[in-house]
Amino acid sequence: MKTARVSARQMGLISCEDCHLLSRMPKTSTHGVAHCPRCGGELHQRKRNSIARTWALVVAAMAFYLPANLLPMTITSAVGTVSADTIMSGVIYFMQHGSWEIALVIFTASVFVPFLKFIILIYLLLAVQFKLVKQPKDLTRLYRFTEAIGRWSMLDIYVVTILVALVKLGFLANIEAGPAALYFALVVVTTMVAAESFDPRLIWDVVEEKHE
Residues that bind Zn ion (CB under 5 A): 16, 18-19, 21, 36, 38-39, 41
C-alpha 178/C-alpha 73 separation (Å) is: 4
Q: How far is the CB of 8 from Zn ion (least distance, A)?
A: 14
Closer CB to Zn ion, residue 16 or residue 73? 16
Closer CB to Zn ion, residue 36 or residue 128? 36
Q: How far is the CB of 201 from Zn ion (least distance, A)?
A: 18
Closer CB to Zn ion, residue 41 or residue 67? 41
Closer CB to Zn ion, residue 11 or residue 19? 19
Q: How far is the CB of 32 from Zn ion (least distance, A)?
A: 18
Q: How far is the CB of 43 from Zn ion (least distance, A)?
A: 8
Question: DSSP characters for the chain?
Answer: --GGG--TTTTTEEE-TTT--EEE-PPP-TTS-EE-TTT-PEE-SS-TTHHHHHHHHHHHHHHHHHHHHHS-SEEEEETTEEEEE-HHHHHHHHHHTT-HHHHHHHIIIIIIHHHHHHHHHHHHHHHHHTT--S-HHHHHHHHHHHHHHHTTTTHHHHHHHHHHHHHHHTT-SEEEE-THHHHHHHHHHHHHHHHHHS-THHHHHHHHHHH-
Upper half-sphere CA count for residue 110 (Cβ side, 13 Å):
31
Q: How far is the CB of 159 from Zn ion (least distance, A)?
A: 41
Q: Which helix (H) or strand (E) holds 11?
A: none
Q: How far is the CB of 173 from Zn ion (least distance, A)?
A: 58
Closest residue by Cα to residue 66 from 115, 33, 113: 115
Closer CB to Zn ion, residue 15 or residue 86? 15
